[in-house]
Structure 1
Amino acid sequence: MMNRALSDKLSLIAHAATSRDLRVIELLEKSGKQGAPTYLDDQELACYAAQSPVIQFVVDQSSNKTHRFSFGRKLSMDVLTPELIRAAVLDRDKKAQNSVIRHISEIVRFHVARNLSRYSRRCGRDPHIYLDDYFQITLLHLWDKNAYRLLAWDPNAGSARAYFGTITRHCVIEKLVSRNQSHQTEDATPSDEFEALINDADFQFTLELIEHKDLCEKLYDRLGEEGSEREVMLFDLLYRDGVDAAEAARALKLSIDAMHQAHCRLRKRLKQIAETMIT
């Protein structure tokens, strides 16, 4: 029969494993490093494994008589999940890493090809020239800084394809902008014209229409045919991804003033396109 101390210890481990309470996990890991109750001898391991097979144990190489617990059910490698990403990044599980790379690569390559096609067709470039380069850059970006971008994905906020697709689009935009920056020159919109456009009631009505999803997609298609590469990028950042002006300016390597001028030109073009669609 199990003694009270062992029962309490196993209950604490079970709570941490099933609830993923970070405070309890940190406490257990800290006590484990000090040689306290997180480590189970062979008898304790046998008792607990019989009660709760969902907990996985691994042999601690520093001792032949102790085992260290790890959390969670057996991971599925077939579906990209936050648990799989954590196993790959935090636990450095080789199988999990290979699986995450396989899933992420499929998403990234698709979105790199899609966005290069969008942004390059107006400039007469062959997007396939940059495909492998931008694919590798985006993967490195995702794994950079302890892979915090991978770990930040929340399925409740959006699918993996949408989340990593947005990151990929931003990488493509920043790389293309850097490549073309020395060749881009644009005339500023006169300040009086800018103010007149902002105060135009019809223009404000047009902006409200842009927020309607169906019209937004139609505007985007037309913009891809008639607009510049930067206008398409700016539309993606502001209207599709919903980033603020400062972040869009950073991605496009513009000052805030230049960003507002570029946005003004974009909205003016969208107004012209929208008017042809609703009349």
Structure 2
Amino acid sequence: MLIRLGYEIAIECAQPMPVISVLEICKERQADIQRQTKVLTSPSVPNHTYEDVHGNLCRRFMAPAGGFRILYDALVEDSGEPDELNALAKEMPVQDLPDEVIGYLLGSRYCETDHLGDIAWQQFGHVPSGWARVQAITEYVHNRLSFGYGYARATRTAAQAHDERVGVCRDFAHLAIALCRCMNIPARYVNGYLGDIGIPPDPSPMDFNAWFEVFLDGKWYTFDARHNKRRIGRVAIARGRDATDVPLLHSFGAHTLTGFKVWTYEQDSYPATPPAHGIDRTFDAQMLS
């Protein structure tokens, strides 16, 4: 299966400022990229990538004063299989966890385990450990929170989402992550592309998605508290303790978001030009063959 994906993001800067984007397709999916543009900017500015402490690919720019746009478009091969399911996957004792996983047991900026520990043990202490417990947490969060784009708030934490009972996909992920960590299950935040593949189309504008991964039986598994179902065509971008570690854009100064478009959908063949999502057609000539 082929998935067309990409983004166009525009900001307005009062003065020149450094900007870091965390928008590269994750390292393990790089080999699946069949065709892609370079990361294009308007106006064109030098940029380069580096790897952060979580293994994510980040890109550095010096954005000029005024309008600044970043665009990317790609075709990615995907198995077409839904998220892996392993109902027999077991929790690992903390003392047996790999060193690099321990950090995903700890509280973080948006996942305050100290506020949610009692709730977690009351709700899930009696549930069989392993996959069944994580699925119970996923279902609890899915039913606890009401989704709506109007509920978005950049400062909402997992505990606040639990109390307010509303949120967007990042809030669903944060609450599920925090509850898993309270139960000594390593959990991490993931953002990426998730199109309406294998499900009825959602009329809402496309956006990046957030979900979470848990470490069971020595490997990471995908769970999604927002949708609470195994989905087809996820393409991860970045992972971290929570959204603090993986902002789409981080500017070292004030900026205003003036444009935001995301696309991800299945297609049978690669067309000659990027999809018509309001993209300036001057970018077409820069598509890589």
Instruction: Classify the TM-score, shorter chain.
Output: under 0.3
Name the one with the larger strand percent: 2
Tell which has more relative contact order, 1 or 2 (C-alpha 8 A, sep 6+). 2
Q: Which has the larger radius of gyration?
A: 1
Query: What is the TM-score of this pair, normalised by structure 1?
Result: 0.22
Query: What is the TM-score of this pair, normalised by structure 2?
Result: 0.22
Name the one with the larger helix percent: 1
